Amino acid sequence: MSARWPDAPAAREIVALTACQQAPPIARDTDGVLYLVHLVRVAANGGTPGPFLCGVDRFGPDATSWSIGGGVSGPAVRQGPCPGCVTRWRRDYPGITEVRGSVGAAELMAARG
């Protein structure tokens, strides 16, 4: 829980995690375009409450755009898992071993190990 999200569900109420691609891209280089992919909690009611797992407030006044479960993909697009989200996933949600989402989920799973 946090001051901004006092109603954030406890870990035991989270049924899944889903990938959330953040825009704009964080890098453009010869390997393509790199987007940062975060994790968002999925509650039993299907909602995705609160900030990214790393603590970035996706609804804050300076927040960039984001896409739950989907996003930009293609041969010149890379998905970069957020290290803070992966660390918190390992620590706080060890029983959840898969990530939902068509964009970034595989990269997050690989980062978790």
Q: Please state the domain extents for the chain.
A: 11-112
Nearest to 66 by CA among 45, 48, 83: 48
pTM (predicted TM-score): 0.83
What pLDDT, in 10s, does the model give residues 31-70? 888 888 999 988 887 888 888 999 888 888 888 888 888 8
